[in-house]
Structure 1
Amino acid sequence: MPSFQAKLKVTGLKPGNPPEAVMAAAVEALETRHHVESNQLDIVGGVPQISLRFLVDSRDYRGENSEARESAAMMRDAVERVALTGNLYVLRRSRGKWAPV
């Protein structure tokens, strides 16, 4: 099963939402379609960024990439209910390195 990573900048919280709601929304959204291997919060250039690693069922290369992008977009939509977001990046693990999809 190919491994992917979605990275999403978080620029602020919407009123009434605690910080932990961001990761909870992201994980919950991705888990509806994929196994989420890990998640973490980093500060990149002073901006919070969540990273979620997930598996996509094996099939053709393009189909896997497409499904990963769709799932990452769905995850972003879920996070945008509780927070303001910035850039979204989708990466694929290939030969021990992460490469943009």
Structure 2
Amino acid sequence: MPSFQTKLKIAGLKPGNPPESVMAAAVEALETRHHVESNQLDIVGGVPQISLRFLVEARDYPGENSEARQSAAMMRDAVERVALTGSLYVLRRSRGKWAPI
């Protein structure tokens, strides 16, 4: 199964939402479609960024990439209910390296 990673910048929380609600929303959304291998929060250039690694069912290469992009967008929509977001990145693991798709 191909491995993908999505990274999403978090600009701030919406009122009434605790910080942990961001990752909870992201994981819950992705788990509806894929196995989530890991998740983490990093601070990149002073800005919080969540990263989730997930598996996509094997099929044709373009179809796998398309499904990963759609799932990342769905995850972002879920996170935007609790937080303000910034840039979204989707990467695919290939030959031991992460490459943007």
TM-score > 0.5 by shorter chain = yes
The equivalent of 1:71 in structure 2 is 71
CA deviations 1:31-68 (Å, max 9, x no partner) are 00000000000000000000000000000000000000
How far residue 12 of structure 1 moved from its aligned partner, in angstroms, is 0.1
Tell me the secondary structure at the aligned position of residue 86 of structure 2.
strand
CA distance in 2, matches of 1:11, 1:46: 10
TM-score, normalised via structure 1 length = 1.00
Tell me the secondary structure at the aligned position of residue 33 of structure 1.
coil
Q: How many residues in Structure 1 have an aligned counterpart in Structure 2?
A: 101
CA distance in 2, matches of 1:29, 1:6: 12
How far residue 72 of structure 1 moved from its aligned partner, in angstroms, is 0.1
Q: % of aligned pairs identical?
A: 90
How far residue 70 of structure 1 moved from its aligned partner, in angstroms, is 0.0
Tell me the secondary structure at the aligned position of residue 40 of structure 1.
strand
How far residue 3 of structure 1 moved from its aligned partner, in angstroms, is 0.1
The equivalent of 2:57 in structure 1 is 57
Structure 2: runs of 5+ lacking an equivalent: none
CA RMSD of aligned residues (A): 0.1
Structure 1: runs of 5+ lacking an equivalent: none
How far residue 85 of structure 1 moved from its aligned partner, in angstroms, is 0.1
TM-score, normalised via structure 2 length = 1.00
How far residue 15 of structure 1 moved from its aligned partner, in angstroms, is 0.1
